[in-house]
Amino acid sequence: MHLPKSAQNAALKLTENEFKAETGETKSVWFPKGVIKRIRLFGLGEKSKWNYRKEQLLPRLFVRYARGERIATFAAALHSTFDDIRNAAARFSANAIMANFEFNKYKERPKDGWPEIKTIYLAASKDALKDAKEGIREGQIIGEEVNSCRELANTPGGDMTPARLADEAEISAKKTGIKIKILGEKDIKQLGMGGVLGVARGSSEKPQFIILEYFHGPQEQKPLVLTGKGVTFDTGGLNLKPSDYIYEMHMDMSGGAAVIHGLAAVARLKLPVNVVGLIPAVENMPSGSSYHPGDLLKSMSGKTIEVLNTDAEGRVILADALYYGATKYKPGLMVNFATLTGAAHVALGSYCSALFTKDGDESLEHTLIDVGKKSGDYVWPLPLWDEYLPEIKGTFGDLANIESKDKYGGAIYGAKFLEQFAADARFAHIDIAPRMTSVEADFLAKGATGVGVRYITELAKYYSEILNQNS
């Protein structure tokens, strides 16, 4: 669609006289009659300071304003400073759908309903319509899966048990044609996953190991293996979390939810790639049967894990998942998603996740940063040098689950621990703890962000390029 000439002229006239387009400035132009009732102008500031991060936020800003005004339908011009029209349309659509989400499942519906955008029209030139439509469809799928991930992560821990997470994975898999297998406690024991069993011991909720397979790439293509932390509630175990830190720990399965719905987006987009998702799901609870500080757990790899703190449980269950993925699937790349450490949040703040790649794998590091940039799930690298390894060597076991002496750099030690179980696989770890919940500047509803879903979708697109780095 195109704005009528009269509307364009009115907006231009206002721009010249009353609107300076400074960052955060807004102004409305009202029309006494016609289809278009008003135009809302949003100031974007100096063009030289515009960047791809701000462009991702723009559709969210539009939606936030419209919801606040209870506007159900609006139109916006579609353009991009940084990319082609198809990708611009995909980004706009995904971010608009994300901004239109609110977790109201447990609230009584108001008489006049929740504020909601019903329709958004994107104005583009006629020769760009086909590309725009394709982009809109892609963005709609991605936005929907991000919001489905947020639904899971926001669900209270009393409802979101390991069995419930496995059920939700099965529902998603059946809808999208992904092959799924769920291993129960007996199967987990037979595989020798002592890490998963150890953490799960304190809860009456039995552990689950979720396996998702999407093989639609070339037969000879080594799969992309994704592992996701599935701790459905984390009390810290016997090393109980303080009250200020135990709230929102129902979201400690955000990595697992991202893998479930990231794969769903890949499947719905019919991307020609081979991807496997692995999610160890447990509840970390204090009880008479809980694992203890000082316990020695034998992992699937044969390495023993010396438990120095029961609140470092995510890496313990992921040790088994990583080893299983590396040895069973022989991946071309294995990427882990986990709300692993508060230390990552301290290091980077609330606007990106921490990225770790094996020392010297600079080509992978640069590619994964670019994946974050394109997807909107931004990542920033921290080191994974061997200098950090001695700090997690165990006294009575092979590896300790936290650093023994150095009280700094906890995010790095967590990543270094995980690396020890990746066998010979090309490996990356993304600590999504900084992006687990939204902040005001995100222009999103409070609660889970769905971090990881957009990243996984973009990573699948990049996967052939990543494999070529090793060829």
Residue 33 has pLDDT above 80, yes or no: no
pLDDT band at residue 9, thresholds of 50, 70 and 90?
A: low
Identify whether 31 is part of a domain: yes
Tell whether 309 is covered by a domain: yes
Give percent above pLDDT 90 in the chain.
82
Shared-domain flag, residues 133 and 18: yes
Residues 87 and 28 both lie in one domain = yes
Domain membership of residue 307 (yes or no) is: yes
- Does residue 149 lie in a domain region? no
For residues 249 and 218, membership in a common domain is answered with yes
Same domain, 244 and 375: yes
CATH number of the domain within which 330 lies: 3.40.630.10
Question: What is the longest distance spanned by two Cα atoms in the chain?
Answer: 80
Whether the predicted pLDDT of 14 surpasses 70 = no
What CATH number should be reported for the domain holding residue 18? 3.40.220.10
Residue 336 in any domain: the answer is yes
pLDDT at 16: 57
Do residues 131 and 184 share a domain?
A: no
Residue 332 confidence (pLDDT) above 80: yes
Of 92, 88, 83, which Cα lies nearest the Cα of 62? 92
How many domains does the chain fold into?
A: 2
Residue 5: predicted pLDDT: 56
Residue 322 has pLDDT above 90, yes or no: yes
Query: What pLDDT does 1 receive?
Result: 41
**Sign (positive or negative) of CA dihedral 36, 40, 46, 52:** negative
- pLDDT of residue 348 exceeding 60, the answer is yes
> Tens of pLDDT along 262-294?
999 999 999 999 999 999 999 999 999 999 999
In a domain, 147, yes or no: no
| Residue 10: predicted pLDDT | 55
Q: Residue 2: what pLDDT?
A: 46
Residue 86 lies in a domain: yes
43 and 66 assigned to the same domain? yes
The average pLDDT across 298-316 equals: 98
Whole-number average pLDDT of the chain? 93
Contacts of 442 (CB under 8 A, 6+ apart): 57, 60, 449
**What phi, psi does 193 have (nearest 5°)?**
-85, 75
Q: At what angle do helices 254-268 and 129-154 cross, to 10 degrees?
A: 150
Q: What is the mean pLDDT of residues 379-403?
A: 97
Q: Which pairs from 312-315 meet CB under 8 Å and 24+ separation?
A: 312/401, 312/402, 312/414, 313/199, 313/231, 313/234, 313/237, 313/282, 313/284, 313/401, 314/229, 314/231, 314/234, 314/252, 314/338, 314/339, 314/340, 314/414, 315/340, 315/401, 315/414, 315/417, 315/418
429 and 299 within one domain: yes
**Is residue 304 assigned to a domain?**
yes
Residues 94 and 194 in one domain: no
The confidence score (pLDDT) of residue 13 equals 58
| Centroid of chain to Cα 104 | 21
Which residues are the active-site residues?
241, 315
- Which pLDDT value is given to residue 17? 63
Residues 125 and 241 in one domain: no
Domain of residue 85 covers: 5-142
Check residues 309 and 114 and name the one with the higher pLDDT: 309
| Contact criterion met (CB below 8 Å) for 68 and 115 | yes
- Higher-pLDDT residue of 58, 33: 58
- 134 and 171 both lie in a single domain: no
* pLDDT for 471: 57
Q: What pLDDT shows up at residue 83?
A: 81
Question: Which of 92, 120, 142 represents a domain boundary (last residue)?
Answer: 142
Question: Do 119 and 168 belong together in one domain?
Answer: no
Least confident of 1-5, 75-79, 272-276: 1-5
Q: Quick one: pLDDT at residue 410? A: 97
CA distance 298 to 74: 58
Residue-wise pLDDT for 150-191, tens only, equals 999 999 999 999 999 999 999 999 999 999 999 999 999 999
Quote the pLDDT of residue 40: 86
- The residue among 142, 172, 194 that closes a domain is 142
Residues 6+ apart with CB under 8 A from 470: 332, 426
Among 390, 236, 423, 251, CA closest to 320: 423
Q: Which are the contacts of 106, defined by CB distance < 8 A and separation ≥ 6? A: 156
Answer with the one of 142, 170, 188 that is the final residue of a domain: 142
Residues 172 and 282 in one domain: yes
